[in-house]
Structure 1
Amino acid sequence: MDLALLRTFLTVHRAGSFTRAAALLGLSQPAVTSQIRTLERQLGRPLFVRRARGVIPTTIGDELAHRAAPHLDALVEIAEAGLDEESGVRTLHLAGPPEFLSARVLPALTPLVAQGLALRLSLLPNAGETLDGLAAGHHDLAVATARPRGGLLTATPLCDEEHVLVAGPRMAARIGPDLLRRKSGLVLEQLPVVEVHESLPFVSRYWATVFEAKPAAAATVIAPDLRAVLECAASGAGLAVLPRYLCEEALERGRLVALTDPPMPPLRTYFLVVRTGTLALPHIARAHEWLLRAAVDW
């Protein structure tokens, strides 16, 4: 059996689409369709059922994928290991939220850079865009705040981040802890808000979890980078909801004040995501393992 046909089959099985598999393989869609039909003729069984949106494997297709995937991934690992030794330097294309990559991921990967790993970053605040780019082969490894669906991508929980409702010291002093305890979210509705988007993703999640309500206020400042949101809040532009890892130093220095201390603060999970099977590649596997070890202390 032709290994190229099996490779195309496995890519289609993981992608769930001839079109997406063609993009990953660098082939035309007709070429992928032709290869799958050739393999089906050789086996005498259909491997996929065509649907309006992609394909789903038959039971024979699932069985073949289960049996073939470990061996094909092992061959890729052998081939890439040889290439790794010849080139000396491998490039990892990494994507994820700008702030998290800057504050957490890049410092953690610095030792691998010293060992010969080259990094190319795509700073993407939107999780959907990040996962789409990974699925299309634009990235090797991604950090996302959403767990992908389907078999094309494999996600591993990396860490949780706690969200904190903060304001600059002058604004916090103006509210006062007593008033805040008595009226909670009602007081905060009267204050200006700094956010990353008009939909108030961070503030809305916080309000739903802590106050069991929707925020009534509109954002006064929209800054599509949490580091800019932090600086605006610290300067007194309005209250904000920030990840604790990002604002911890500002809280310790008194540049920001935590307005509430809920028993169950909102949490958001980060996932480390790869295309299924690519952890057979040594440079991706090293970065993946390194980040999981580092995240224990995050």
Structure 2
Amino acid sequence: MDLALLRTFLTVHRAGSITRAAQLLGLSQPAVTGQIRALERQLGRPLFLRQPRGVAPTGVADELAHRVAPHLDALGEIAQEGLYGTAPRTLHLAGPPEFTASHLLPALAGLVADGLALRATPATGDDAVAGLASATYDVAVTTALPRGRPFHITPLHDEEHVLVAAPRWAGRLDPPAAVSPAALERLPLLDCGEELPFAGPYWATVFDTRPAAAAALVVPDLRAVLTAAREGAGIAVLPRQLCAADLAAGTLRVLLEPPMAPLRTFFLVVRAGTLAQPIVGRVHSRLLRAAARW
């Protein structure tokens, strides 16, 4: 079986799109389509089903990708570094910006000092998963659990979320029994998205409802939300670790300690078979060891 056809197949499988695969391979769309059809004729089975946006792999395609990916990736690693080369390949990492800054980069600093070439890109949710599938990224940390493609997925870290406010607002909700959805409606709500990605899940877990009011302030950076809350702009749901220094200093106060703390899980994700690549395996192992101390 032609290795070029298999490489094209694997690129389409990971990208989920003929167009995207053609861009990654530097080929025309008709050329990629022709190679996929040639491989389908050799196998006697369809590999992809066309959809309004992209293509969906068949069961045969998923099985073939699982079998050939480790070997093709290993060959690509040798070709990129040279048979006897020792220069490290650049590793591309994707993750939420705040978590990358506070956890991922400190964990990988030693590898960079030892010669790892690292490029970190802020990416969240589906963007991180799509980039990993298309081979734009080698390793992704995401809260969106990937489905439908051959990924190696490992739970990395559970992040506790707390409802906080500056003392001027917290004083209006004393004692804690006064903290209710109705009482909180009267206070300005801060979040990092119009859809309330932090306040919404917190309300659902703790109060079994959604916030009734829209956010008073939206800024797409949790560190900016933290600053606004510290300065008294309103109440916010934040990772406990992100605001730990403010809680210790008293510039922020936790408004409620529910029996079951709301959590957000981060997953460490790589493409199936790529852990055999030394550079991916080293980064993966280092992050897992670091996560045990978080």
Structure 2 distance, partners of 1:217, 1:230, is: 20
Please state how far the C-alpha of 1:189 moved relative to its aligned partner: 1.5
User: Is the 2:125–2:142 contact (alpha carbons within 8 Å) kept by the matching residues of 1?
Assistant: yes
Which structure has more helix as a fraction of its residues? 1
Name the aligned partner's letter for residue 237 of structure 1: A
Secondary structure of 1:164's counterpart equals: strand
Deviates most, 248-257 or 26-35: 26-35
Partner of 1:56: 57
- What is residue 28 of structure 1 aligned with on the other side? 28
**8 Å CA contact 2:200, 2:211 repeated in 1:** yes
Secondary structure in 2 aligned to 1:290? helix
Residue in 2 that maps onto 1:2? 2
Partner of 1:198: 194
Aligned positions of 1:232-247 closer than 5 A: 232-247=228-243
What residue is the counterpart of 1:253 in the other structure? 249
Query: Residue 266 of structure 2 aligns with which residue?
Result: 270
Distance 1:62 1:134, change over 3 A: closer
2:243 counterpart SS class:
helix
| C-alpha contact (below 8 Å) 2:107/2:287 kept by paired residues | yes
Q: Aligned letter for 1:31?
A: A
Superposition deviation, residue 186 in structure 1: 2.1
Larger mean Cα displacement after TM superposition, 5-14 or 95-104: 5-14
So what's the TM-score if we normalise by structure 2?
Answer: 0.88
* CA distance 1:216–1:120, change in 2 (3 Å): same
State the partner residue of 2:116. Answer: 117
Residue type matched to 1:88 in 2? A
Amino acid corresponding to residue 268 of structure 1 in structure 2: R
Residue identity in the other structure for 1:256? L
The answer to whether the 8 Å contact 2:155/2:265 transfers is: yes
Equivalent AA in structure 2 for residue 71 of structure 1: H
Cα contact 1:16–1:152 (8 A) shared by 2: no
Deviation at residue 175 of structure 1 after TM alignment? 2.0
State the shift of 1:291 in Å.
0.7
- Counterpart-to-counterpart distance in 2, 1:86 and 1:289: 23
Name the counterpart of 1:92: 91
Percent identity of the aligned residues?
60
- Paired residues in the alignment total 292
Question: Which one is further off, 2-11 or 238-247?
Answer: 2-11
Matches within 5 A, 1:1-298: 1-43=1-43, 45-53=44-52, 54-57=55-58, 59=60, 61=61, 64-79=64-79, 82=82, 86=85, 88-124=87-123, 126-177=124-175, 180-182=176-178, 184-298=180-294
Contact 1:76–1:281, Cα closer than 8 Å, also in 2:
no
RMSD of aligned residue pairs (Cα, Å): 2.4
Q: Answer yes or no: is the 8 Å Cα contact 1:108–1:291 preserved in 2.
A: yes
Structure 1, residues 87-110: CA drift from partner, whole Å, max 9, x if none?
524322222211100001000000
Judge conservation of contact 2:16–2:56 (CA < 8 Å) in 1.
Answer: yes
Q: 1:257-279 deviations in whole A, cap 9, x for unaligned? A: 11100111111111122233333
In the TM superposition, what is the alpha-carbon distance from 1:218 to its structure 2 partner? 2.3
CA distance in 2, matches of 1:139, 1:67: 21
- Cα distance in 1 for partners of 2:247, 2:265 equals 22
Q: What amino acid does structure 1 have at the position aligned with 2:135?
A: G
CA distance 1:62–1:132, shift in 2 (3 Å):
closer
TM-score normalized with structure 1 length: 0.87
Rounded to whole Å, the distance in 2 between the matches of 1:95 and 1:63 is 27
Q: Aligned-pair distance for 1:10? A: 3.3
Deviates more, 1:131-140 or 1:282-291: 131-140
CA–CA distance in 2 between the matches of 1:128 and 1:62?
20
Task: Indicate how the Cα distance of structure 1 residues 46 and 73 shifts in structure 2: closer, same or farther if over 3 A, else same.
Answer: same
Any idea what the Cα deviations from partners look like across 1:139-169, whole Å, max 9, x if unmatched?
2222111012221544322111111000112
